[in-house]
Structure 1
Amino acid sequence: MKNIKNLFLITLISLAVTSCFKDEDDIIVSETEKTEEINDFVWKAMNSWYNWQDLVPDLADSKADDNNTYQAYLNQYSSPENLFNSLIYQTDVVDRFSWFIEDYIEQEQAFQGISKSFGLRFQGVQINTEGDVIIYVRHVADDSPASAANINRGDIINAINGTVLTTTTYNTAINGLYQDDITLSFVSENAGTLTAIEDKTISSAVISENPVYLNKVFSDIDGKKLVI
């Protein structure tokens, strides 16, 4: 019985020691190795499926014949996006529709109308020669933070996070619309004079909008049916 207990104790110690050293056996992949793997994936995907593959010399099938030369070619690019862009055939001339997506899940959600935002669209307008600027609300998404704050289409805003909008401050101040929280200063306009109404602070949230804003059928346009 004593021997069995000793054997059991030795087994436990062995398992404990093995567990202690398990992490040292984990494979650590460096950022450089990750980039190399993704570059390889990007090139092979473009080589297989790109519409203009036969017109891009660097996408020739023979490019990967010699592994050392192929790896040296991939390693020229510090990011997969740079590699991808270098393989586009006549960017903005012939191929105007290919782009690199870092987070495909986020992109798919955007296509479905799912995004994190305040739920409003706007347009900036300079209102005088002194450089004063206002933004007016063009659209408010249903069930969005903007809608919950009773912000409406046509509302006028002249300050963001306390910064009055001018031609000088506009570009910096407008970045607030892409942050998590924002304070908007609403005004009314009468004969060119702006009068303060109230400030509203809202927080961005994940919202789902219908990506199709207009769906209409015109049944007879020169004898043809037109769907928009």
Structure 2
Amino acid sequence: MSIKSLLPLVFVLAVFSCSKDDELSVPKTVDPLPSSNVPVQNFMWKAMNFWYFWQADVPDLADNRFQDSESYTEFLQSVEEPGAFFDSKLLYIEDRFSFYNSDYRELTNSLAGISRSNGLEFGLVRKANSEEVFGYVRYIIPNSDAATKDIERGDLFTGVNGTTLTINNFQNLLFGANNTYVLNMADFSNGDVIQNEREVSLTKEEALAENPVFISKSFEVNGITIGYLMYNQFTNEYDDDLYDAVLGLKNLGITELVVDLRYNPGGSVNTTRILASMIYDTNTDNLFIRKRYNDKIQDQLSESQLEVYFTDRVGSKTIEPLGLNKLYVLTSASSASASELLINSLEPYIDVVIIGDVTRGKNEFSTTLVDDRENSYLYTPSRVNKINPDNQWAIQPLLGRNENADGFFDYTDGLVPDIQLKEDYGNLGILGDLNEPLLARAIQEITGATGKRDFTVENPIEIFSSSKMYGLFKDKMIDDTLYELDLSLN
């Protein structure tokens, strides 16, 4: 068994040996009074003061903000609850994605694809001119509780435990502490979603692991061998599965590839690099991304230290790339972070045809920080015994943005599809089936066949949220590109 399989997730921040003294210079800041008892707030401030992308834009994070322990302690004690302190005192107003958790183990498990879940993945839609909300099933995680129940993709629901879902109660009903709930199912009739008599009881399981390689198959259409890969999260615990899936498609002789990222909220930067290399090329002289940190870090690093290149390896395995010059990607408003990074990093090299909806617009990366001062606050599985025993909190702040080889990174409003085609909750289709609308549209584009099918969307899905947005993973892009960081913290 490999070391990797024994660890929840390896988060080694993608940085480097740096500067003339082989260290980054970290400004010295004051410490709280010994009797203050604010270990969580102190950790949060110091970690954010050094790493946060917008550190220079938050006055309370300035290096010279506090001149003595008394004023620093007073600031740390100004908000008693650590989560509220993080949100109200440390975040830049434009930051939509930094977050925290009171238990680093729960956070790191979620980033490894392990969560407390009933296995039902769904989108949420607000009814027009109403406070009411309904859900539609996107897919079912295999070997989950939902996989044993009478529920499938395309099913609709409007209530939980007999209570109609609304914009004000859906979070508590669907994502609260209740382990078991009953969904009140619904039908789509005459342009409306109407509750029926059917009910489905679902129970959340601890430590449910989702293999993100959901579908991998090929089709022979008009003499063209087309590969289809539905990939639902960039989780580095499953890099070997991803490698096997793409190699399997290569061995089937595919000449075109459709990658379905419409329900993929993001994840590992290194896994994104691996997939990009498998699709395009393993030339390690080709720039994959260039990192942009806050000025405190950026100014101390050379250009080469900020660059990450394509790779020719997945662990001990040598990548056999597909060598494609064109890629078709299916997207939705739930395609975020590493999903967008895959598209953006490949566009300088090949033609990426986006089919679907505008993506989420998450172009910043993050990493997990814990109260391990000697390790620059970076979460490292082998050092969990070094984490402050009085503070098990973790934060996941935004550290920077990734530019592609052309220097482009500004897609905070999302990546716009080349072919706009929203999902239709009245006609979702079967994932991986040639007649599923988005896949069918991609195949039409590949084969050049026109006029054979009407892709009119009668009931376009305008989601405002989804089940994945209430997992701890949410829509994060995790910087784990496996370089070694050498820091000296004062």
Judge same fold: TM > 0.5, yes or no: yes
State the AA in 2 paired with 1:73: F
State the AA in 2 paired with 1:114: I
What corresponds to 1:21 in structure 2? Answer: none
1:122 counterpart = 2:248: no
- Give the secondary-structure state (helix, strand or coil) at the position aligned to 1:68: helix
Give the count of matched residue pairs. 189
Q: 1:87 to 1:148 in 2, by over 3 A?
A: same
Q: 1:108 to 1:227 in 2, by over 3 A?
A: farther
Q: CA deviation at 1:190?
A: 5.5
Q: 1:107 to 1:227 in 2, by over 3 A?
A: farther
- How large is the Cα RMSD of the aligned pairs? 3.8
State the AA in 1 paired with 2:162: G
Q: CA deviation at 1:153?
A: 0.4
CA distance in 1, matches of 2:132, 2:58: 49
- Partner residue of 2:232 out of 199, 202, 213: 213
Indicate if the aligned counterparts of 1:188 and 1:197 stay in contact, CA closer than 8 A: no
Q: 1:118 to 1:33 in 2, by over 3 A?
A: farther
Q: CA deviation at 1:205?
A: 1.0
Q: 1:73 to 1:198 in 2, by over 3 A?
A: closer
State the AA in 2 paired with 1:143: N
What corresponds to 2:182 in structure 1? Answer: 183
1:160 counterpart = 2:168: no
- Give the secondary-structure state (helix, strand or coil) at the position aligned to 2:46: helix
Indicate if the aligned counterparts of 1:123 and 1:138 stay in contact, CA closer than 8 A: no
CA distance in 1, matches of 2:202, 2:50: 47
Q: CA deviation at 1:112?
A: 2.0
1:172 counterpart = 2:169: yes
Which runs of 5 or more residues in structure 1 are unaligned? 1-31
Q: CA deviation at 1:50?
A: 3.2
What corresponds to 1:23 in structure 2? Answer: none
Q: Deviations over 1:24-43 (max 9, x none)?
A: xxxxxxxx954x22222222
Q: 1:158 to 1:45 in 2, by over 3 A?
A: closer
Alignment of 1:121-160 (within 5 A): 121-124=122-125, 126=127, 134-160=134-160
Indicate if the aligned counterparts of 1:39 and 1:83 stay in contact, CA closer than 8 A: yes
Q: CA deviation at 1:82?
A: 3.9
- Give the secondary-structure state (helix, strand or coil) at the position aligned to 2:102: coil
Q: Deviations over 1:153-209 (max 9, x none)?
A: 01233442123x37xx56436633222111123344565696846322221113111
Q: 1:73 to 1:202 in 2, by over 3 A?
A: closer
State the AA in 2 paired with 1:172: N
Indicate if the aligned counterparts of 1:122 and 1:139 stay in contact, CA closer than 8 A: no
Q: Deviations over 1:3-53 (max 9, x none)?
A: xxxxxxxxxxxxxxxxxxxxxxxxxxxxx954x222222222223333444
Q: 1:67 to 1:191 in 2, by over 3 A?
A: closer
**TM score, norm. by length of structure 2:** 0.32
Deviates more, 1:207-216 or 1:67-76: 207-216
Identity fraction in percent: 31
Indicate if the aligned counterparts of 2:132 and 2:167 stay in contact, CA closer than 8 A: no
User: Larger radius of gyration, structure 1 or 2?
Assistant: 1
- Give the secondary-structure state (helix, strand or coil) at the position aligned to 1:100: strand
Q: Deviations over 1:63-97 (max 9, x none)?
A: 55522232223222323334434233x321xx554
**TM score, norm. by length of structure 1:** 0.62
CA distance in 1, matches of 2:109, 2:98: 18
More helix by share: 1
State the AA in 2 paired with 1:213: N
What corresponds to 2:90 in structure 1? Answer: 87
CA distance in 2, matches of 1:170, 1:53: 34
Q: Deviations over 1:118-173 (max 9, x none)?
A: 2211334648x89986532122111111111131101233442123x37xx56436
Which runs of 5 or more residues in structure 2 are unaligned? 1-34, 213-230, 234-241, 243-258, 260-278, 281-323, 327-346, 355-490
Indicate if the aligned counterparts of 2:36 and 2:73 stay in contact, CA closer than 8 A: no
State the AA in 2 paired with 1:149: K
What corresponds to 2:79 in structure 1? Answer: 77
